[in-house]
Structure 1
Amino acid sequence: MALKSLGAEHYKAIGLLAVPKRGGKSYDEIAAECGVHVNTLYNWRKDPLFEREYKREIVRASADKLPEIFAAIPQHIIKDGNAALFKTLLQANDMLTDRVEVNAEIKSDKDIDAIKAKLARYRGVSTTEQE
């Protein structure tokens, strides 16, 4: 059953889980601190609302480190030749998108006739035989 809203125990769990390496705590320890069974904690991790807030907390906690991270990325790209990291860097700087635009505008019927004639020449068929 999906969560409709998050309570204090959810936010406490999110805060503890979002710490790097969970602050050295196990899932059992985090569940105990939140006053829930460990299976409940695992179920929360599967819930879209909980996961969305968990990811937001990670971003909030690491936002002040982002300039250092982005400054270190080029050295790693050059040293490791990591194409995926390079792509991520370009996307983060709006220098690369997955969007592809194709303009398939046909200017006139003459263009189509010219294409048909060229195709016929390639096939070795005269344009009069084709029609």
Structure 2
Amino acid sequence: MANRTLKDTMKELTPEQVRAANLLFENDILPPKQRRTFEQIADELGIEVRTLYNWRKLDAMLDYKVAMTDTYTKEHRARIMSAVIRESELGNASMTKLYMQNQGMLIDRVEYEDKTEKVDEVALAARLASIKEKL
């Protein structure tokens, strides 16, 4: 959703596409065993499954789902962080790392060391001049 608002994004979607985005989002946050297939969601919407697949790829549809995810995450931040902390306390190193990153206590950093030989530009120019003289 680079430069457009949710309101602008919704203007690009039909009411059926907004409903589809909502159903897809709701499906995504269900536990895996409770999720419905795309065929089931398409049937509920009264559309062909191929149409649903095509809609899923629309930029406006993706942006709408991102906005819904952001809203969901904000609404459930305390519960989510509580689960992260609980898992961390149980020894889950990934959750500890996630918690520390979220709190700004851990930053991924990449260091780069250039080990290439430095070129002496003056010596190189002199060498080139010497070669040119021989030609």
* Residue matched to 1:98: 108
Structure of higher RCO (CA pairs closer than 8 Å, 6+ residues apart):
2
Q: TM-score, normalised by structure 1?
A: 0.56
**What secondary structure sits across from 1:77 in the alignment?**
helix
Q: TM-score, normalised by structure 2?
A: 0.55
Distance 1:66 1:25 in 2: 26
Determine the structure 1 residue equivalent to 2:30. Answer: 21
Q: How far 1:6 sits from its partner (Å)?
A: 2.3
Gaps of at least 5 residues in structure 1 are 103-131
The residue type equivalent to 1:53 in the other structure is Y
Q: Secondary structure at the match of 1:29?
A: helix
| Match in the other structure for 1:6 | 13
Between the aligned partners of 1:31 and 1:47, the Cα distance in structure 2 is 16
CA distance in structure 2 between the partners assigned to 1:90 and 1:60 by the alignment: 23
Pairs within 5 Å for 1:14-93: 14-19=21-26, 20-21=29-30, 25-79=36-90, 81-93=91-103
- Greater shift, 89-98 or 68-77, is seen at 89-98
- Describe the shift of the 1:48–1:94 C-alpha distance in structure 2 as closer, same or farther (beyond 3 A): farther
Shift in Å, 1:24: 5.3
For structure 2, list consecutive stretches of 5 or more residues without a partner in the other structure: 1-11, 113-135
